[in-house]
Chains A and B, each alone.
Chain A
Amino acid sequence: MQSYTPDTEIVVFPENDSKMNYYGLLYLDERLVRNLKKDAIIVTCIPGVMKSVSLFTQKVKDVIMVSEGEIRDLLCLYGVIDTPSPFIVVSLDSPEGRHADRLLDVKELTMEQMVAIGVYFIIPFRPILRRFDYDGEDPEVLDILKEA
């Protein structure tokens, strides 16, 4: 397992939502640039995220697969600790107390905006248009890429 350094962004993907995960991966490089980080470690319980990472970015140095329960514990534990955020969570309603899902579709706010601007704080925001050359047949990867 690659080690964490101060130049590493830890990004948690807890949701089984292919659209959200697609935009989470699509804007990850831009997030690293804006937040002055060199690379990222992804923590997820979604196999599709792990399998798709390399199609989106080469800056992820490790993907840590954990169970759903472990992710839940991690986010729950996080609420107790009085320190600034040590990681980003690609979700609109997790951890507990986050309710950005309520803004989705309000005044036509899209999932892309919610993830790029809300989760990654990419302001100013410019949409990324990208095509993917994937000729495999893994359904979990295809599920995420269908959003492209």
Chain B
Amino acid sequence: MAGEPVKIQFRYRVIGFLKDLMIKDSSNFIQHVYFKIKLSMWWKLYQKIANEDGTTYICPYKGTGDVYVASGLLASQIGEDRVKASRICVIGGGSKKIVKLFGFEDVVSLEQKEMDDVVRMCTALGFDALDIFALHADPPSSKMGISDHMRNYNGINFMDFFTSGVFNNESLRFKKPSFDDCRDDIAKFFEDNGLIPGKTVVVAPYVNTLGELPVWVWIEIVDEFRKRGFTVCTNCDDKHWPIFGSIGINPPYSELKDFFEYAGYFVGSRSGLCDIISSFDICKVIVYSSDEYWGCGEIIDFFSMNDMGLCDDAIEIVHKGIDFLETKDKILKRVQEWEKTHRTSEAPVDLVR
């Protein structure tokens, strides 16, 4: 029977678990009932996620960057042949789309609560015993993770966190994903919306985890670009407004490469989106806040895309305190410098007054 090995595997672990914990203290009726309910819930969850043909991989944290980096390294670790057959569980539909960029086809989308329960089940019954591998050094619901605390010590960055902390393989290299070819659709979108190919800036002001600049700063940045002949888009979902003077866009992950390369420029606060666009051949300006600390360092120390090895051409700017106007000037100046070296056939656009 197809489901038999998984069933046996789970039951074997549960019997061991019960033997260890409950039979010793079977007089405690409430404890007994509690575990019975818990185990039956876990069994249903296990049936939903278990891979009959091998390891089940789980992304227990739904951060875009975490899922992107973990998937790319996993694809590199297991090799192209095994990517299609591997089962990977993520939280929500957005993460599912990211994972699919790397060729994974067997992707199970869970709710946050279900994923937390998967982690608790594994903590109690054993990750190895259930043949489940966590693609995060510290699954949030495991409560006992300590790797997070080492951030930035001795230069440990976000990539080390995954290569060493998850895959135990310091030399593992990130595999870039593949994106859909949709240039015709993108060209039509640009035409329909009056966007200029190669002279459009995509701004990404909204982030989930790290610090962001106030909206008024983005309004000024957009305004400056428009004055100098650029058209501007804001990458935003339906919960956010496009920055005044720009067009709101939310292209699917699979179409990002063509869209951004057709536009030519990206300016955004550091977020998971920056990881995804890191390999694109465009002008990438990433703004890092210096007001938060990650371990013993700042955000840029841990999340620098250049230091992580995701790319070597990102323009990385650190924003300090209330120096919003200085940050705006820096962004414009760095874009102008980039233009001088990359747009040699045309006169650089004068961005700084």
Contacts of A92 in B (CB 8 A): 146
State whether the Cβ of A47 lies closer than 8 Å to any Cβ in chain B.
Answer: no
Contacts of B170 in A (CB 8 A): 106
* Shortest distance from the beta carbon of B108 to any chain A beta carbon, whole Å: 20
Which residue from B21, B126, B146, B164 sits with its C-beta under 8 Å from A77? B21
Are A98 and B145 interface neighbours, CB within 8 A?
A: yes
Among A94-148, those with CB < 8 Å from B are 95-100, 102-103, 106-109, 113-114, 117-119, 121, 123-125
Are A89 and B150 interface neighbours, CB within 8 A?
A: no
Given contacts A102-B165, A103-B164, contact A123 B154 (CB under 8 A): no
Given contacts A109-B153, A118-B150, contact A95 B123 (CB under 8 A): yes
Are B20 and A73 interface neighbours, CB within 8 A?
A: yes
Question: How many angstroms from the CA of A2 to the CA of B217 in the assembled complex?
Answer: 58
- Sample 21 A-B pairs with CB under 8 A, ordered by A number: A72-B20, A78-B123, A79-B120, A79-B123, A79-B142, A80-B38, A80-B123, A85-B144, A92-B146, A97-B122, A97-B127, A97-B142, A98-B146, A99-B147, A99-B165, A100-B146, A108-B154, A109-B156, A113-B150, A119-B146, A123-B296
Are B156 and A103 interface neighbours, CB within 8 A?
A: yes
Interface flags, B9-29, vs A, CB<8A=1, else 0: 000000001001100100000
A-B residue pairs, 9 tightest by C-beta: A79-B123, A79-B124, A118-B146, A107-B154, A106-B164, A102-B168, A97-B142, A80-B124, A97-B123
* Shortest distance from the beta carbon of B306 to any chain A beta carbon, whole Å: 17
* Shortest distance from the beta carbon of B262 to any chain A beta carbon, whole Å: 39
Contacts of A100 in B (CB 8 A): 137, 145-147, 150, 165
State whether the Cβ of A76 lies closer than 8 Å to any Cβ in chain B.
Answer: yes
Q: Which residue of B lies closest to A81 (CB)?
A: B120
State whether the Cβ of B119 lies closer than 8 Å to any Cβ in chain A.
Answer: yes
Are B149 and A107 interface neighbours, CB within 8 A?
A: no
Contacts of A119 in B (CB 8 A): 146
Contacts of A84 in B (CB 8 A): 143
How many positions in chain A have a CB within 8 Å of any CB in the partner chain?
A: 33
Are A76 and B139 interface neighbours, CB within 8 A?
A: no
Are A114 and B150 interface neighbours, CB within 8 A?
A: yes
Question: How many angstroms from the CA of A73 to the CA of B24 in the assembled complex?
Answer: 11
State whether the Cβ of B295 lies closer than 8 Å to any Cβ in chain A.
Answer: yes
Which residue from A76, A77, A103 sits with its C-beta under 8 Å from B150? A103
Are B150 and A97 interface neighbours, CB within 8 A?
A: no
Question: How many angstroms from the CA of A79 to the CA of B145 in the assembled complex?
Answer: 12
Question: How many angstroms from the CA of A5 to the CA of B349 in the assembled complex?
Answer: 67
* Shortest distance from the beta carbon of A141 to any chain B beta carbon, whole Å: 27
Which residue from B134, B150, B155 sits with its C-beta under 8 Å from A117? B150
Are B20 and A123 interface neighbours, CB within 8 A?
A: no
* Shortest distance from the beta carbon of A20 to any chain B beta carbon, whole Å: 12
Question: How many angstroms from the CA of A96 to the CA of B168 in the assembled complex?
Answer: 16
Among A66-90, those with CB < 8 Å from B are 72-73, 76-80, 82, 84-85, 89
* Shortest distance from the beta carbon of A118 to any chain B beta carbon, whole Å: 4
State whether the Cβ of B241 lies closer than 8 Å to any Cβ in chain A.
Answer: no
Which residue from B35, B122, B123, B147 sits with its C-beta under 8 Å from A103? B147
Are A107 and B156 interface neighbours, CB within 8 A?
A: yes
Q: Which residue of A lies closest to B157 (CB)?
A: A107
Question: How many angstroms from the CA of A96 to the CA of B144 in the assembled complex?
Answer: 9
Contacts of A73 in B (CB 8 A): 20-21, 24
Contacts of A118 in B (CB 8 A): 146-147, 149-150
Among B116-140, those with CB < 8 Å from A are 119-120, 122-124, 126-127, 134, 137, 139
Q: Which residue of B lies closest to A85 (CB)?
A: B143
Are A82 and B120 interface neighbours, CB within 8 A?
A: yes
Residue among A99, A108, A119 facing the most chain B CB atoms (10 A cut-off): A99
State whether the Cβ of B160 lies closer than 8 Å to any Cβ in chain A.
Answer: yes
Q: Which residue of A lies closest to B168 (CB)?
A: A102
Contacts of A78 in B (CB 8 A): 123, 144
Which residue from B139, B149, B165 sits with its C-beta under 8 Å from A123? B149
Q: Which residue of A lies closest to B160 (CB)?
A: A106
Among B191-227, those with CB < 8 Å from A are none
Q: Which residue of B lies closest to A82 (CB)?
A: B120
Among A1-54, those with CB < 8 Å from B are none
Among B228-269, those with CB < 8 Å from A are none
Which residue from A96, A99, A113 sits with its C-beta under 8 Å from B137? A99
Contacts of A108 in B (CB 8 A): 154
Question: How many angstroms from the CA of A106 to the CA of B147 in the assembled complex?
Answer: 12
Which residue from A85, A96, A121, A124 sits with its C-beta under 8 Å from B122? A96
Interface flags, B96-128, vs A, CB<8A=1, else 0: 000000000000000000000001101110110
